[in-house]
Structure 1
Amino acid sequence: MPPRARTAWFKTLGQLALVLAAALALGVVLGHPGLVLALAALGVVAWHYWKLRGVLLRLTARQRFEPSPGTGVWNELDRLLHRGQQEMREHKRRLIGMLRAYRAVADALPDAVVVVERNSQRIAWFNAAATALLGLRYPRDVDAALGERLQPLPVAHWLAAGRNAEPLTDAASPVDPDLRLSLRLIAYSEDLWLLVARDVSRLTRLEQMRRDFVANVSHELRTPLTVVHGYLEMLDPAEHPDWAPMLAEMQRQSQRMTQLVEDLLTLSRLEAQEALADEEVSMAPMLATLRREAEALSQKRHAISIEDAAGVDLWGSTKELHSAFSNLVSNAVRYTPAGGTIEIGLRRDADGGAVLSVRDSGFGIPAAHLPRITERFYRVSTSRSRESGGTGLGLAIVKHVLGLHQAWLEVESEVGRGSTFSCHFGAARVRSRQPQDTWSIA
């Protein structure tokens, strides 16, 4: 107990003792000591209850009060309550100041920020940028359903995903269809979510310009490359033995350049597509074709095996899926030394989907490179890639094809022990294989 409070406590006890002693003395004089002492005690209790009533009234009134002068225990209690009240008010002022500062910061942001109630998906608060980018108005849209206010944006299903919601990277603004937005949902608490919308119109235009440039340049390079390659084919190394090495190298580089142009055109076409015309993809003949391609590319330098343990077909684009799977198989052949093994397998997963995997016993990929191997032109080893004839676009094509099929690529690799590339397809992409579609893969 602090010294001041202890002093007030003992002073109050002393005053009580004096009152009772005086009452006892008066009772003795009057000949009724017990009665007078009892009346004095009741008076003391009544007085203390009166002081307690005053404290309760001050607490419930939520008004400022000045502590009464004096040094008794009730005066000390008044002083402590007054001090606590002042500290609480100061703390409240600081919190309000911080809240206003955070709101000012949020209002100054160029990105739209919307606080959403998790359970009801209603708008709790939004900043000024949300009006310009999302068309929200204050106070009309406060406590309104977010999905209704952001029409025609398809956000209802997106919001239902909650913490697992993937960012919407290119969505039209409800205010202006030419305004492109990137939407991200942040579950920062159990009860509230944060919706952040960013204007990516300029980035979208730049990306479209890049795609158009790559597609146009690749298309224009096709004709001269075809002419050059045709004339090189017409030259007979037997007529000029000294030119044979140079002609062979020129033909090889011409073919590599042609393949690079074709891959760039394929990638540009995939990037321009938002969806594919789906059909039933028969996986038994697809696996047989992949095996023939692997054997033709390997020239008996590797042991190639096929395992069809799933017994299902896929729903998607046969052409695009073959392009993706063929890229994985050709990469496995290119980067596996002679005498190695290549295993191509199709199996079911625990969620009812299907997984096509290509496993090799090649050089392997260091862990530091794994996050970037699907980037276009990214090479783990530049010299090895050039020797193998790769364009650096194969895995980028695989990633885009799988994305159009709502699938994803998983890579497991260990240096010196090989790699496994697995294409995961959801249950919605799996179809039961018909009896007539059963193939025998030797």
Structure 2
Amino acid sequence: MRLDRTSRRALLLAAAGLVAGVVVGWATGNALIGVSIVALSQFVALLSSIRHRTDPIMATPRQTTDPRHDRLMTRSRRIASQLRDLRSAAGSLPDAVVLMDQAQHVRWFNHAAEDLLGLRRPTDRGRILSECLQTTDLAKWLIDGGREPLNDVTAPGHANRHISATLLPFGSRQRLLLVRDISHMTRLEQIRRDFVANVSHELRTPLTVIHGYLELLDPEDVPELAPVLGEMRVQSRRMGQIVEDLLTLSRLETQDRIADERVTIEPLLATLRREAEALSQGRHRITLTHTAATDLLGSSKDLHSAFSNLVSNAVRYTPTGGRIDIRFEPHAAGVIFSVADSGYGIPATHLARLTERFYRVSSSRSRDSGGTGLGLSIVKHVLNLHHARLQIESEPGKGSTFSAIFGAERLLVPGGEESLAS
């Protein structure tokens, strides 16, 4: 079969769309089957459009006995059947899929998009998606460009359903919106938070009573029980600290924002150094470097908690004779607070999971140091509330550096009210 230049070019473009759709669908999961369907539709439509105008044989009446004609017709019917099956499968996908052009005009969407996003056929086809969704969080995210994935927002028209969304480029002039219903996971996460908060609150009082009675017992009165009493005191204090950290973490997880106030850095750094020296008891060399002439906008209590966790971790996991450097310095993004130690170091495979609650690189070492396994989780949530980020650099045998990086919008002129970003 010989094709003219226009038909060959169109056929190549359609084939490229088919390949791209299949590759993207394979790489990102079954929620993108719809993309492959769109490409297949264009491909089959193109075959049908050129079938009767590109070859004399193809223009032969239906009763022709040419075997090439019969084979091509059989292949076309098979592709059309597969296309119908794929369209049916796409309509049953639980994830919403919306195909748009560069200007976010809706070109195609599946049935899940009708349920989760409230889109309607055929009225919403050709419309700008953000206009279809009006003033929802999803619409604002689309207007802003949707550069970062959107997590845990209310579904349009469904106050009790939560969704996550991702906007992906497709081809050179199209975009693909993927929306997933995460209501079930959100409910489970809320149940977990409530359980942890309630249990921690209920444990606080009996632990306080137990620790109080242990403090009343004098080991000198019962020398044979002195080691036991000492260990019981240590473990009761540790349990109390775990409960306090769990309550702090539960509070941070339920907060959407903080009450901003001026955090005066100089006295905060002095307090952190005193705490480090008290915890170290002379076993380490501790230095403080303060070269950033700025205060911070945020929560003084929460920032002290986060910074104190970084400092205490450095003391706990640095052997006797090691060095700990506390720094508050200018940074390209704004300002950076960092704690560097000459401790054991952390293998690269563990770095991504360090902020998970109760995650431990070495269980035995953590127990010996008295850590709760919640410190870095608290740090992460505090920094998120301050729109800051945690940076971790570590190498086994060479120590670690934990840094909190704050943007210019969080910087305040010392002693003044204006922001350095203004």
Structure 1 and Structure 2 fold alike (TM over 0.5)? yes
Counting only pairs closer than 5 Å after superposition, residues 169-208 of structure 1 correspond to structure 2 as 169-208=151-190
Q: Match of 1:104?
A: 88
Q: Match of 1:302?
A: 284
Counterpart CA distance in 2 for 1:158 and 1:240 is 67
Is the CA contact (8 Å cut-off) linking 1:379 and 1:392 kept in structure 2?
yes
Q: Match of 1:370?
A: 351
Counting only pairs closer than 5 Å after superposition, residues 113-192 of structure 1 correspond to structure 2 as 113-118=97-102, 120-159=103-142, 162=145, 164-165=147-148, 167-192=149-174
Is the CA contact (8 Å cut-off) linking 1:132 and 1:175 kept in structure 2?
no
Counting only pairs closer than 5 Å after superposition, residues 223-242 of structure 1 correspond to structure 2 as 223-242=205-224
Q: Give the aligned CA root-mean-square deviation in angstroms.
A: 2.9
Q: Match of 2:270?
A: 288
Counterpart CA distance in 1 for 2:261 and 2:75 is 65
Is the CA contact (8 Å cut-off) linking 2:327 and 2:339 kept in structure 1?
yes
Counterpart CA distance in 2 for 1:314 and 1:232 is 41
How has the CA–CA distance of structure 1 residues 340 and 215 changed in structure 2, closer, same or farther, with 3 Å as cutoff? Answer: same
Q: Match of 1:410?
A: 391
Deviations 1:83-137 (A, max 9, x none): 999999888777766654543332221111111223x122221110011111011
Counterpart CA distance in 2 for 1:60 and 1:181 is 44
Q: Match of 1:29?
A: none
- Shift in Å, 1:406: 1.6
How has the CA–CA distance of structure 1 residues 320 and 199 changed in structure 2, closer, same or farther, with 3 Å as cutoff? Answer: same
Counting only pairs closer than 5 Å after superposition, residues 258-269 of structure 1 correspond to structure 2 as 258-269=240-251
Q: Match of 2:253?
A: 271
How has the CA–CA distance of structure 1 residues 60 and 110 changed in structure 2, closer, same or farther, with 3 Å as cutoff? Answer: closer
Deviations 1:400-436 (A, max 9, x none): 1111112221111000110011112222222233379
Deviations 1:233-287 (A, max 9, x none): 0001111111111000000000000000000000111111111111222222221
Is the CA contact (8 Å cut-off) linking 1:342 and 1:359 kept in structure 2?
yes
How has the CA–CA distance of structure 1 residues 256 and 67 changed in structure 2, closer, same or farther, with 3 Å as cutoff? Answer: closer
Pairs aligned (count):
365
Q: Match of 2:298?
A: 316
- Shift in Å, 1:371: 1.2
Q: Highest CA radius of gyration, 1 or 2? A: 1
TM-score, normalised to structure 2, is: 0.79
Structure 2 gap ranges (5+)? 1-49, 61-65
Amino acid at match of 1:122: H
Counting only pairs closer than 5 Å after superposition, residues 415-434 of structure 1 correspond to structure 2 as 415-434=396-415
- Shift in Å, 1:163: 7.0
- Shift in Å, 1:375: 0.6
- Shift in Å, 1:300: 1.5
- Shift in Å, 1:336: 0.4
Is the CA contact (8 Å cut-off) linking 1:152 and 1:174 kept in structure 2?
no
How has the CA–CA distance of structure 1 residues 190 and 426 changed in structure 2, closer, same or farther, with 3 Å as cutoff? Answer: farther
Q: Match of 1:394?
A: 375
Give the % identical residues.
Answer: 56
Deviations 1:159-199 (A, max 9, x none): 3565741x222111112100111222223333222211111
Counterpart CA distance in 2 for 1:66 and 1:262 is 82
TM-score, normalised to structure 1, is: 0.76
How has the CA–CA distance of structure 1 residues 160 and 342 changed in structure 2, closer, same or farther, with 3 Å as cutoff? Answer: farther
Counterpart CA distance in 2 for 1:315 and 1:372 is 28
Counterpart CA distance in 1 for 2:59 and 2:179 is 56
Matched residue SS, 2:158:
coil
Task: Please identify, of 169-178 and 391-400, the stretch whose mean Cα deviation from structure 2 is larger.
Answer: 169-178
Is the CA contact (8 Å cut-off) linking 1:113 and 1:129 kept in structure 2?
yes
- Shift in Å, 1:356: 1.1
- Shift in Å, 1:301: 1.2
How has the CA–CA distance of structure 1 residues 100 and 383 changed in structure 2, closer, same or farther, with 3 Å as cutoff? Answer: same
